[in-house]
Amino acid sequence: MANQIRIGVFVVVAGIVLVVALAVGRTEGAKEEFRFDAAKLKDHNTWIQVNDEPYKMPAPVAALCAPTTLLDPNPHAGAYITVYVNKAGREAMFAQQSQRFPEGSIIVKEKYRSPEDRKPLLYTIMRKREAGYNPKVGDWEFSTVGPDGTQVQASGKLKNCQACHLGKSESDFVFRPYVKSE
């Protein structure tokens, strides 16, 4: 009986060591973890505001997005957005004809319940990654950031985001009805 307990403890400890080793191995050599700070959106040397006034998401577009969880509200339902793009994506965002965004482009949607709100509900972010990262949707990585503007809630090949953006392949998977002229 004592031998069986020792073997059981050994198996459990070995399992824990293996799980930790695999987790550490996955992070080695991985790309830098996505970080975001909404306070920096006002830095006009880095970010360009795309729309002059909050843009109301059309109901059909809002309907395409399903809630990320049963507890979270639909990220587009009743939402108004202010959109920002970094310098890498500026030319593609403001081009008359849709074009492919270069690697390093970042698009941020600051979402509000109403155009008068001052505190965002959340931020959704698209970051153009290296070729081959996510070819299904033009190598875009999707992220959601909480209302504090720094806490990344989810990031990667988010199925919810991909499902909606798949229909926009002709514009590099980016919706652009809110674009102002520069």
pLDDT at 34: 74
pLDDT level of residue 145 (50, 70, 90 thresholds): very high
Of residues 138 and 27, more confidently modeled: 138
Of residues 60 and 53, more confidently modeled: 53
Calpha distance 119→58 (Å, rounded): 21
Nearest in space to 140 (alpha carbons), one of 96, 175, 179: 175
95-128 tens-digit pLDDT: 999 999 999 999 999 998 888 888 898 899 999 9
Cβ neighbour number for residue 131 with a 10 Å cutoff? 10
pLDDT at 88: 96
Alpha carbons within 13 angstroms on the beta-carbon side of residue 92 total 22
Calpha distance 54→124 (Å, rounded): 15
74-93 tens-digit pLDDT: 555 567 899 999 999 999 99
pLDDT at 36: 86
HEC-encoded secondary structure of 2-62: HHHHHHHHHHHHHHHHHHHHHHHHHHCCCCCCCCCCHHHHHCCCCEEECCCCCEECCHHHH
pTM for the whole structure: 0.74
109 SS3 class: strand
